[in-house]
Amino acid sequence: MLTGPLAGVRVVDLSQIVSGPMATCILAGQGADVVKIESSSGDPIRALGPRKGDLSAMFIAVNHGKRGLALDLKRPEALAVLEKLIVQSDVLVENFRPGVIERLGCGYDRCRELNPRLIYASINGFGPDGPYANIRVYDPVVQAVSGLAALQAGSDSVPQLMRTLIADKTTALTAAQAITAALFARERSGVGQRIDIAMLDAAIAFAWPDGMWNDTFLDEAPTPWPTYGSQMRLWTAADGQVAVGALQNSEFQALCEAVARPDLAADPRLATIAGRNMHRADWTPALSAAVKAMSVDALMAEFIRTGAVGGRVNSVADVVSDPQVVHNKTVAAVDHGAIGRVAMPRGAARFSQGSSVPGVAPTLGEQGIVILRELGHTDDEIAFLISTGCVIAPPQCGRPIRLTFRSP
């Protein structure tokens, strides 16, 4: 059961893969009624990674809490169903290549005619126009063009990809926030609007604060610093690894106390962040040796005692059992019916008013019959839509539908 700040908001989700679905999944987790529209072949990530039936782990992660309706939008009767849904909805999200949704007949101009209050969010790789607009885009391409890959270069200066879909996910977060901002604006103006979110723009904005600080000052630029990311590393302990940080002076003092090297904090050359950066080669070997002499558990105890910046390096398998993750109840085990229990993170934002329990992800077209009835279709009309392939029937569709094979 979902309740939350977006209860009562209906979202039409025409997106696929990760950027759009993750954005609408965030909205679903905050109480919105999200209807995921798929073709007969379904979202491609239904087949990506470990899966049971047509539900992959990745699909569940970015589509839980939604209801499913499968339509063949190349058929006018199916497009008419979508238009009915748009009339009764608050938000539409799509991430087709530029021009595709217009050819399907449900571009922004048509949607605005149907529902002037609609928030229409269009997600794409490089933008709706421009020299790269026609290029097909996946996450690694955006990482490359945005500079994210360059920021991952090591001592050999060779760019590397982050081994997670960072561009997709930052775009999803950007889109979800923009949609809620547009909903807020609509409460004041009474009218909807179009939002365009380019993955490239979202990735550059994400990288900018630390990755592009040497490109910020355009007039009489100060002396460049090494990028913040180039100074990031993991530290080897006696039985594992930890991450530490010391941006502020008090944090450097706490870290030195935690590893029993107060003499480093007492060095006047290291009393400022600029000094620590300038003399990095003088103090990091000593700190490294001190960390290596301690176990991860001992380091964690000292980080907690002194208030230092630090944390253990968990394996992927160990994340869910980390004491803080367990305390926060970050990951929930959700009964997913026939496929058993699945683990998924709850919404990261906790609202004092209302609550959100992660829902399940739909099989292909699972709630199609229910949604068609909500739109006012009779059983005979639904039977016609199913028999002609306009609507892909779910494996189980509630009470029996009479297939009369006549036009509604």
CATH architecture assignment, domain 10-207+332-366: 3-Layer(aba) Sandwich (3.40)
Q: What is the CATH number of domain 235-312?
A: 3.30.1540.10
Residue 34, SS3 per DSSP: strand
Most confident among 145-154, 174-183, 336-345 (mean pLDDT): 174-183
For the chain, give every residue range classified as CATH 3.40.50.10540: 10-207+332-366
> Which pTM does this prediction carry?
0.91
User: Would you say residue 403 has pLDDT above 80?
Assistant: no
Contacts of 68 (CB under 8 A, 6+ apart): 35, 36, 38, 362, 363, 364, 365, 366, 367, 368, 394
CB < 8 Å & 24+ apart, contacts of 309-313: 309/244, 309/245, 309/246, 309/247, 309/251, 309/254, 309/255, 310/242, 310/243, 310/244, 310/245, 310/255, 310/258, 311/242, 311/243, 312/240, 312/241, 312/242, 313/234, 313/240, 313/241, 313/242, 313/243
**What does the alpha-carbon distance between residue 65 and residue 353 come to, in Å, rounded to a whole number?**
19
Helix (H) or strand (E) holding 79, with range, is helix 76-87
pLDDT tier for residue 388 given thresholds of 50, 70 and 90: very high
For the chain, give every residue range classified as CATH 3.30.1540.10: 235-312
pLDDT reported for residue 207: 95
pLDDT tier for residue 119 given thresholds of 50, 70 and 90: very high
pLDDT in tens, 240-251: 999 998 889 999
